[in-house]
Structure 1
Amino acid sequence: MTTTTAPLRGKALLQKLKELAHLPRRETAKQCGYITGSGDSERVNLTDFYNAVLAAKGLELDPEETRDGRGREATYRVSVHANGQIVIGAAYTKEMGLKPGDEFEIKLGYKHIHLKQIEGDKPTEED
């Protein structure tokens, strides 16, 4: 018999995992409410359980499904626009701590581009 009716999520799930660390995975998932069906047809839903554990720890496997349309997650991919430009979005520049006016030297390699931030007046030479 399960101890919960609705599947646990977030901090409550992580706390319950600590309490049930001695149990096998299927029993832990069952105790956390990740079951479908009832009686003899009762099944443990390990996929939803694992996804909930990952989400509780801050890792979303399918972020597109949980988005509400008000913005996008950074994908760390860019594409060349029709006018030939490559745009690096605000999410990336914010993460790197860049400010308007920061300059970069472009170094072309075989199938890659390196952007090296210019410190002061002179570009850095590392390659």
Structure 2
Amino acid sequence: MATTPKPKPLTGQELLDKVTSMENVDRKEKARACGYVTYTKNGQERVNLMQFNNALLKAVGVDLDASDENGSRGRAPTFRVSVHKNGNLLIGAAYTKKMGLKPGDEFEIKLGHHNIKLERID
């Protein structure tokens, strides 16, 4: 059984133009008209509203999946850490990466009144 190739959903300016031209149509119909439809194994149509909404956001310049300047997609460091139940104080990879530290770098720990200062040993 041959299947016809599924057309690619509209993106970018083409998507914006199509949606703008359909201003009096509900969102589900707009998504369908722009190609954001899949079919289940038993042939039922499924409109992919989430993909449609994400494509619209991207078309207007909002990328929800954007990475930070280093290409990382994780959380941004808050520069706050807490002591673990076992008494260890862990400095995460985000902090060491931001400081340009490499495995084997050594520090001297200096205790202040309400702080801990790490001084790199050259």
Q: Which has the higher helix share?
A: 1
Could you state the TM-score of these two structures normalised by the residue count of structure 1?
0.48
Could you state the TM-score of these two structures normalised by the residue count of structure 2?
0.50
